[in-house]
Amino acid sequence: MNRLFAARRPLGLAALAIVAWVLPYRLNVYWISVADTALLFALLAVGLGLVMGIAGQVNLAQVAFFGVGAYGVGILTTAHGFGFWLAALLAMVAAVCAGLVVGLPALRVQSHYLGIVTLGLAVAFLDWVTNAPVTGGDSGLSGIPTPPLFGVGLSSQYLYYYLELIVLAAGLAFGYFVVRTSLGRRLRAMRDDALAAGAAGAEIRVLRMIAFVLASVYGGAAGVLYAGLIHYIAPETFSIADMFLLLAMVIIGGRQSLWGCVVGAIGLTVAQQELINLAAYAQLGYGMLVVAVVVFAPTGLAGVPSRVRRWRLRRRSGISAAALGSFSGVPSSGRTGAVLEVSGLVMRFRGVIALDRVSLRAEPGEILGIVGPNGSGKTTLFNVISGLYRPSGGRVDLDGRVISGSRPWRISHHGVARTFQHLRLFGNLTVLDNVRMAMDRTRSWWSWRYVFWPVGVWRHERELSRQAGAVLDAFGLAAFAGALPHSLPYGIQRRVEIARAMASAPRLLLLDEPAAGLNGDEQRQLAEIVRAIRASGVTVVLIEHNMGLVMSLCDRVVVLDSGAVIASGVPASVAAQPAVLEAYLGTTTLPSEAS
């Protein structure tokens, strides 16, 4: 089925290219101008899809990027006599600057709050263009020249169509290049779970800014093309109503798919023309359609085929745990384990002291167990070590280097990997992509290659895929490479999370209740995996409630109670200490082995 699809895709693409190329021969002058507008909206929508659908950043200022591009060209050509293409270049720079400004709030707020802030910025832009003398105020700027290309003036709507088509095709190709490779994988991981993405080495703040810059590039390009097409710009074109129309295009088409955005944009533009006599009701119609899509098909029209396919697949065979391969050892990373030294760590949340002067040490090639009753501060300790929390006092050293207080991605790059008590896999990334994302050890600035050295990106990608394939093979997960995590049985998801953590070739692995929810067989396999990880030289720290597993697996155990270390040592001696028994059971009677 999938193979058939892969074979069909290029054919479909070729057919589409031919249709797009010969389409103008079938259109009259009116419809070609509608087509020209539709392509511009498609370009805008792809940009919005990248920032909202791929990176998960609510951006209601896309129409402002469009405006900056258009007004940039308009002002520079009409008031300052610049040539079209030079003005276009400068307008693009201005649009990128606008992208950086609009992206700034994303560093502090997310989801609907970000929506409100970006909407505010879009309104501010609209207010400015309506009132500023330089933008021509209410009556806008007219007389914007036609862009020349190789000595030919693109005054014909038909020629302009091809210019737009080429720009859109290039924009789509670049968009897909980003989405399918390292940068896009990180953006998608950030969208699915920003916290886990940070812990896996993604620089969340930089990625958010990159997302907004990407959106502004597409928005700016659409604006530049708009100015050259219409030769006139006025505030009406960049109104909030247009922003919501654009939003409707992206949501109806399918925000997580760039093709979906294009389909939504073209579909809605054409529908708008067909329903022009019903324009008063059309807004209501779009609104209801958006609500229906959000409720019944959250991934939009583009998501429908894959939903159907998945549903049929599930009905036909279903993914069974039987396909789980056996664990065949940890691929050697060439890294050695690190010494973890926690000294006097204090973590206060307002009045509550979650960690009270905790000190402990884990050596390379050792499995250190952390136990304690619920609320004793175990997960808080992991969150401080992995950088999710900044400690109130004390420090964490890794091989003698202070890591406490650093951001999660930096700690990840120092060689710390973790799993979470409640699974935090990237839900819309395949198992293979979950692993590839963590395996990618490049920094965000590495992304300049996307613009200046795409070949480098491809090579990096090939290498990642090769290594990730090896990790999946080693963990017996090869059969699930293309599956989404939530379609897998729970035990397999647990294993995927460990595989993802190990993909980053850590020197210290933090496992937060890895056995929770596993059956006896799976627990035995887990123990085998953890021992193999230790054998490869990696330091392992493990939180676990299953005392049987702790006793059999750990070299040493530290017991936390109310945020403080109350005992530590080899498992047998710790289990016998009265303070430990009291913390667990409230009395000093002997514990049973299987607690």
Write out the residues near another protein by the rule CB under 8 A.
3, 6-7, 9-11, 13-15, 17-18, 21-22, 24-30, 32-34, 37, 130-131, 136-140, 142-143, 156-158, 161, 226, 230-237, 241-242, 273, 276-277, 279-280, 282-283
Which CB atom, from 27 or from 566, has the smaller least distance to another protein? 27
CB 59 within 8 A of CB 215: yes
Q: At CB < 8 A and 24+ separation, what contacts does 566-572 make?
A: 568/360, 571/369
Which CB atom, from 17 or from 93, has the smaller least distance to another protein? 17
Coil/strand/helix, residue 226: helix
Which CB atom, from 130 or from 442, has the smaller least distance to another protein? 130
Rounded least distance, CB 128 to another protein, Å:
12
Which CB atom, from 232 or from 446, has the smaller least distance to another protein? 232
CB neighbours of 332 closer than 8 A, spacing ≥ 6? 536
Rounded least distance, CB 7 to another protein, Å:
5
Please give the backbone phi and psi of residue 368, each rounded to the nearest 5 degrees, phi first: -105, 125
Tokens of 482: 């293309």
Please give the backbone phi and psi of residue 142, each rounded to the nearest 5 degrees, phi first: -115, 170
CB 544 within 8 A of CB 371: yes
Which CB atom, from 14 or from 590, has the smaller least distance to another protein? 14
Q: What is the C-alpha separation between 209 and 190, in angstroms, rounded?
A: 12
What is the side-by-side order of every strand in the sheet holding 416-418? 416-418, 508-512, 539-543, 367-371, 556-561, 564-569
Which CB atom, from 75 or from 509, has the smaller least distance to another protein? 75
Closest CA to 469 of 523, 433, 511, 427: 433
Rounded least distance, CB 70 to another protein, Å:
11
Helices (H), 353-453: 378-385, 408-414, 431-439, 449-452
Rounded least distance, CB 129 to another protein, Å:
10
Which CB atom, from 22 or from 572, has the smaller least distance to another protein? 22
Rounded least distance, CB 480 to another protein, Å:
22
**What one-character-per-residue DSSP string does 364-402 give?**
TT-EEEEE-STTSSHHHHHHHHTTSS--SEEEEEETTEE
Rounded least distance, CB 461 to another protein, Å:
14
Which CB atom, from 1 or from 276, has the smaller least distance to another protein? 276
Rounded least distance, CB 370 to another protein, Å:
47
CA dihedral 162, 164, 165, 170 (to 10 degrees): 130
In this structure, which amino acid lies at residue 378? K
Rounded least distance, CB 269 to another protein, Å:
10
